[in-house]
Amino acid sequence: MSTSAEPGRTWPLVGRAAELDDLDDLLSTAADGVGVTVLLEGEAGVGKTGLVDALRGSARLLDVELRSAQASDVRSWPFALLSDALLVRSSAAGHGAGRSPVETELADLLDAMYADPARSVARYDRAAELFAALLRRHGDIRPWALVLEDVHKADAPSLEVLLQLAHEGAVPRALVVLTMRPVPYRPELAELVAAWTRAGARYLELRPLSARATVELAENLVGGPVGPSLRGTLATTGGNPRLIADVVRTARAAGALVASDGVLDSAGTRWMTPLDEVVRQRVEYLGPDVLALLGQASVLGTSFVIADLASLAGDPVADCWRTLRHGLAAGVVRARGDRLVFGHDLVREALYNGLEPDQRRALHARAAWALRQAGAPAQIVTGHLERAR
Ligand SMILES: Nc1ncnc2c1ncn2[C@@H]1O[C@H](COP(=O)(O)OP(=O)(O)OP(=O)(O)O)[C@@H](O)[C@H]1O
Ligand SMILES: [Mg+2]
């Protein structure tokens, strides 16, 4: 089963040689019969799915069976994640043909649970026990790999089984990879991560691409060298592959990619409006409160002092921190002492351009006032006053 978030990546994976090597080594370790668990965390669109998809090839080479499933908001019924990964689907296998007795019992239990959720407590416990047994015994015949994607969205019973397993140590003869975004924060996920950390799991933080890999990815996407104007916009993506692809795709769709002197470059600014819209959709998952505060912050520029944002927003500094915590965890803003910096200027611009004109002017007026109070230089204050008109 494919877990690709965006169907059909037709371009090569760039800038991930080190991470792939790490994962390949761990897969070899598992193929030798040792259990390994990896927690792969990274901001939205940074390339978690792309990386674990690339494991498929290595698994085939090493003749390691790879099972995978992806948690999703729409499929959040009990044990959805684990049953997607572990139970052969009856439609695919002709009404459960090829299932072991444990799998058959589990499938029947789940059917009964879904049919009558009110009377399920004993069934829950039994299903959890059977899933744990399946996971522990799956490698009896040969080593395997299990990729569970987006566990930040996983159903609670699946997380509970994974937590119980952590207390017993790595799953024998398996490479288990759990991928997750840092937000939304869920206490049960934090508990799971802590338990796996105690059990010796590897933590792999997938970082944004370097400036060089950013351009390389864009060049793969357009099929040749890219010019200075497009490079300028690419530099605002903070090395996020999804945003890089959004930039290229939007420029192309708007007919703004023009060839000259052997390079493809973006022309004009008309494609910026659709780009802003795409980018705003990408950060919608942060929720209205965080986005509203980040929208206010966008007026202050790429980097800003948190106290200035607090006076601009008219809220105590502590409240701003509390709201921004989620933006920080998501990598949309990054902390540098008492300053915050937007991780992707593209996102800042999209939020800024998304403000209503009246609201934007009012925010600039308040920013002028707040910055003057805080002792900012006159030309900065004047700059805000000009945009307040
Ligand atoms: N290193 C890379 N080289 C080329 N393309 C990449 C790379 N990493 C990611 N991509 C592409 O960027 C897009 C976003 O990547 P991906 O879906 O893997 O991110 P993700 O971290 O899984 O995001 P999410 O948090 O939404 O699950 C995809 O189209 C993917 O194919
Ligand atoms: Mg993904």
Choose one of 259, 280, 301: the last residue of a domain.
280
Residue given tokens 């948690």 in the structure block? 71
Ligand 1 in reach of 26 Cβ (< 6 A): no
Does the pTM of the predicted model rise above 0.85? yes
Q: Whose C-alpha lies nearest to ligand 1, atom 18?
A: 47
Report in angstroms the alpha-carbon separations of 211 from 217, 241, 265, 272, 328.
10, 11, 17, 21, 21
Q: What atom of ligand 1 comes closest to residue 220's alpha carbon?
A: 4
Ligand 1 lined by 67 (C-beta under 6 Å): no
Determine the Cα–Cα distance for residues 313 and 184; give it in Å rounded to an integer. Answer: 23
What is the distance in A from the centroid of ligand 1 to the CA of 370?
39
Q: Which atom of ligand 1 is nearest to the CA of 46?
A: 21
Residue 29, classed as helix, strand or coil, is: helix
Ligand 1 pocket test, pick from 2, 3, 9 with the greatest ligand atom count within 8 Å of Cβ, gives 9
The CB of 238 under 6 Å from ligand 1? The reply is no
- Whether 317 and 371 share a structural domain: yes
User: What CA–CA distance (Å, rounded) separates 127 from 130?
Assistant: 5
How far does Cα 54 stand from its chain's mean position? Answer: 17
- 314 falls within a domain: yes
Cα separation of 310 and 295, whole Å? 13
Q: Say if residue 232 is in the same domain as residue 362.
A: no
Spacing, Cα 5 to ligand 2 middle (Å): 5
Ligand nearest to the CA of 7: 1
Give the number of whichever ligand sits closest to the CA of residue 241: 1
- Ligand 1 site, residue 6, Cβ cutoff 6 A: yes
Q: Whose CA is nearest to atom 2 of ligand 1?
A: 13
Both 188 and 51 in a single domain?
A: yes
H/E stretch holding 325 reads helix 317-330
Same domain, 78 and 187: yes
Do 226 and 369 lie in a common domain?
no
Separation between Cα atoms, residue 305 and residue 301, nearest integer Å: 10
Instruction: Check pocket membership of 295 for ligand 1, CB cut-off 6 A.
Output: no
* Cα-based angle 167, 170, 176 (whole degrees, multiple of 5): 120
For ligand 1, the distance from its centroid to the CA atom of residue 46, given in whole angstroms, is: 5
The pLDDT, as a whole number, for residue 198 is 95
Q: How many domains does the chain have?
A: 3
49 in ligand 1 pocket by Cβ < 6 Å? yes
Question: Which residue from 177, 242, 243, 283 has its CB within 8 A of the most atoms of ligand 1, so it is best to mutate?
Answer: 242
Residues 171 and 165: beta-carbon distance below 8 Å: yes
CB-CB neighbours of 86 under 10 Å: 19
What distance in Å separates the CA atoms of residue 306 and residue 335, rounded to the nearest whole number?
Answer: 10
Domain of residue 314: give its range: 286-387
Give me ligand 2 centre to Cα 31, in Å.
25
Are 193 and 81 members of one domain? yes
Kindly state whether residue 271 falls inside one of the protein's structural domains.
Answer: yes
- 66 domain-assigned: yes
CATH number at residue 309: 1.10.10
**Boundary (domain end) residue, out of 230, 253, 280:** 280
Residue 44 DSSP symbol: T
Ligand 2 geometric centre to CA of 81 (Å): 14
Rounded to the nearest whole angstrom, what is the distance from the C-alpha of residue 126 to the centroid of ligand 2?
A: 31
Per-residue pLDDT tens, the chain, 389 aa: give them. Answer: 333 446 567 778 999 999 999 999 999 999 999 999 999 999 999 999 999 999 999 999 999 999 999 998 866 789 999 999 999 765 554 555 678 889 999 999 999 988 887 777 888 999 999 999 999 999 998 999 999 999 999 999 999 999 999 999 999 999 999 999 988 888 999 999 999 999 999 999 999 999 999 999 999 999 999 999 999 999 999 999 999 999 999 999 999 999 988 899 999 999 999 999 999 999 999 999 999 999 999 999 999 999 999 999 999 999 999 999 989 989 999 988 879 999 999 999 999 999 999 999 999 999 999 999 999 999 999 999 999 99
Nearest Cα to Cα of residue 237 among 335, 334, 329, 345:
345
**What size, in residues, is the chain?**
389
Q: Tell me, yes or no, whether 171 lies in a domain.
A: yes
Tell me, in angstroms, the distance from the centre of ligand 2 to residue 8's CA.
13
Q: Is 308 helix (H, G, I), strand (E, B) or coil?
A: helix
3-state helix, strand, coil in the chain (%, to 5): 55, 15, 30
- Rounded CA-CA distance 302/312 in Å is 15
270 and 305 in a common domain = no
Distance CA 70, CA 296 (A): 35
Q: Any bridge partners for residue 334, and if so which? A: 341
Residue 249 tokens, joined:
């795709």
**Whether 176 contacts 170, CB under 8 Å:** yes
**Sequence-ordered strand ranges (E) for the chain:** 36-41, 65-70, 144-149, 174-180, 202-205, 257-260, 263-266, 303-305, 333-336, 339-342
Q: Return the CATH number at 62.
A: 3.40.50.300
* 35 ligand 1 Cβ < 6 A: no
Query: Rounded to whole angstroms, what are the CA distances from 18 to 24, 206, 234, 369?
Result: 10, 11, 23, 48
**Token representation of residue 284:** 């919608």
Write down the pLDDT at residue 88: 73
* Nearest-CA residue for atom 13 of ligand 1: 242
| 150 C-alpha to ligand 2 centroid (Å) | 7
Q: For tokens 């000259």, what's the residue?
A: 260
In a shared domain, residues 59 and 159: yes
What's the pLDDT score for residue 3? 39
Note the ligand closest to the C-alpha atom of 45.
1
Instruction: Answer yes or no: do 141 and 111 share one domain.
Output: yes
Instruction: Tell whether 70 and 115 lie within a shared domain.
Output: yes
Q: Are residues 32 and 167 in the same domain?
A: yes
Whole-number Å distance between alpha carbons of 256 and 269: 8
Residue 115, pLDDT score: 87
Look at residue 247 and tell me if it is in a domain: yes
Q: How many other C-beta atoms lie within 10 A of the C-beta of residue 254?
A: 17
Q: Is 9 in the pocket of ligand 1 (CB under 6 A)?
A: yes
Q: Is residue 219 part of a domain?
A: yes
In a domain, 11, yes or no: no
Same domain, 129 and 172: yes
- Does the residue 26 lie in any domain? yes
Is 44 a pocket residue for ligand 1 (Cβ < 6 Å)?
yes
Last residue of a domain, one of 280, 300, 330: 280
